[in-house]
Amino acid sequence: MATQQITGSLVALVTPMTDTGAVDYSALAQLVEFHIEQGTDAIISVGTTGESATLDFDEHVAVIEATVRAAADRIPVIAGTGANNTREAIELTEAAKKAGVVAHLSVTPYYNRPTQAGLIAHFTAIADAVDLPMILYNVPGRTAVDMTTQTTLALSAHPRIIGTKEASGSLERIQALIAGAPEGFAIYSGDDGLGCKTILSGGQGTISVTANVAPALMHQMTSAALRGDEDEALAVDARLASLHRELFCQPNPIPVKWAVAAMGLASPALRLPLLPLTPEFIPQVCAALNSAGIATEGCS
């Protein structure tokens, strides 16, 4: 399946688990079918929303492999393969390539806080080592390192680095990336609230948490924005605004896993140190689902 160029609504897919904390591969396959039916444009497997931080290496690879099998070439699958250990990131990327993904998403190394030169060296080493298209991922709120516009654009010259997911929360940063990016280098919003504006500014799509529960609406919004229908895109995005906000009322993926469960799609189970959605937040997540017209079993 071609990687050039994936546009639209790319879901950052949750990893369903049983009440014992085991990966629920049956529910995972059902989620893939759900997204294919609802028009999602691509699946990100085992990103932050997929609880990559608490899956061990073998589980990480197994979830990617299971997602690719379930997708069966009907929808592109992009693997989250980032790590703060460059060698581990390379090993994950090699395994993802063997599994059959079309590209990989690689987050800036967390905790060890590399310099900008260190970021360039890290991502270049991965891209040089594995012949698989790479999408960079900048999310300073989680990693404590912010990849600058200049660094991202320097990396865009590498033939295997095909795009970036920018989750700094800055539309100005996204617009600067769009203005400076070479032809064919994709700019994706990593913040659902900026997804519509990113595409209307010339970006290619959004890597979305909201798409887990509103895939059809996210596809409709991004499609409208991509064809330049600003009125429709903004109108649909307004329906989604509460979800964009309330799915982050507690750290991701706590609220979205609860919402997926409320829709009857999977269990709300997470792995420690994450706990289920605090009951006081349930009414506002339910209100957001209701405002988007999403049918649920868990909201009255």
Binding site members for pyruvate: 49, 207
Is residue 239 within 8 Å of 291, Cβ to Cβ? Answer: yes
Record the tokens describing residue 299, joined without a space: 């909201």
How far is residue 245 from each of residues 46, 86, 193, 255, 288, measured CA to CA in Å? 22, 33, 7, 11, 9
Of 203, 201, 69, nearest to 135 by C-alpha is 203
What are the binding residues? 49, 207
Residue 81 in contact with residue 105, Cβ under 8 Å? yes
Output the 3-class SS for the chain. CCCCCCCEEEEECCCCECCCCCECHHHHHHHHHHHHHHCCCEEEECCCCCCHHHCCHHHHHHHHHHHHHHHCCCCCEEEECCCCCHHHHHHHHHHHHHHCCCEEEEECCCCCCCCHHHHHHHHHHHHHHCCCCEEEEECHHHHCCCCCHHHHHHHCCCCCEEEEEECCCCHHHHHHHHHHCCCCCEEEECCHHHHHHHHHCCCCEEEECHHHCCHHHHHHHHHHHHCCCHHHHHHHHHHHHHHHHHCCCCCCCHHHHHHHHHCCCCCCCCCCCCCCCCHHHHHHHHHHHHHCCCCCCCCC
**Catalytic residue list:** 137, 165
